[in-house]
């Protein structure tokens, strides 16, 4: 157990104490796109349902990851995020409430996890005198927000949002 400790009374003198940390469980897997191509540099995060522990790591060039230091038993939600894709949870879900929990020690390898595609939203930000460059644009869809800026011609593109109703808004100096 990660939270066990021993209270030692030192009185008025110094005391040497040694601490031995348990290894914990590990969780591995491989993340791919819908075509089966491995995705590199995906941030994989494991959160305990108790709310006391979370661990994270990143995928390598083969899309593989290993998260270490998990409690010997417990339920965990697993999320993945990489640019161009919506934040999502294991079990093909864009929301943690609909995700599949992983129980240690029952599961130690997720196998191949295919990330769901997201949607992209694009457009032009204009003012009374025409397109506005360097405007900050935020786009909301499916409970997530993506942020981007307009280019020199006022165009923007926000990628990696979950499907759903979309709301966009922008701000720029002087507007």
Taking only the tens of pLDDT, the chain with its 175 residues reads: 455 666 777 677 777 778 887 778 899 999 999 999 999 999 999 998 877 789 999 999 999 999 998 888 888 999 999 999 999 999 999 999 999 999 888 889 999 999 999 999 999 999 999 999 999 999 999 999 999 999 999 999 999 999 999 999 999 999 9
Contact 54, 18 (CB under 8 A): no
Tokens (6 digits) for 116: 């769901």
CA–CA separation, 90 and 80 (whole Å): 8
pTM for this predicted structure: 0.80
């Amino acid at each position: 157990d990660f939270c066990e400790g021993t209270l030692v009374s030192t009185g008025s003198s110094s005391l040497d104490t040694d601490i031995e940390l348990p290894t914990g469980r590990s969780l591995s897997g491989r993340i791919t796109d819908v075509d089966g191509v491995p995705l590199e540099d995906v941030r994989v995060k494991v959160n305990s349902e108790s709310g006391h522990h979370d661990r994270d790591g990143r995928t390598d060039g083969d899309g593989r990851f290993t998260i270490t230091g998990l409690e010997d038993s417990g339920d965990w939600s697993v999320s993945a995020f990489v640019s161009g894709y919506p934040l999502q949870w294991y079990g093909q879900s864009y929301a943690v409430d609909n995700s599949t929990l992983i129980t240690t020690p029952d599961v130690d390898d997720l196998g191949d996890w295919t990330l769901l595609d997201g949607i992209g939203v694009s457009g032009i930000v204009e003012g009374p005198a025409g397109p506005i460059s360097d405007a900050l644009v935020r786009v909301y869809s499916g409970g997530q927000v993506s942020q981007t800026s307009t280019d020199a011609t006022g165009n923007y593109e926000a990628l990696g949002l979950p499907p759903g109703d979309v709301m966009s808004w922008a701000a720029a100096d002087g507007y």
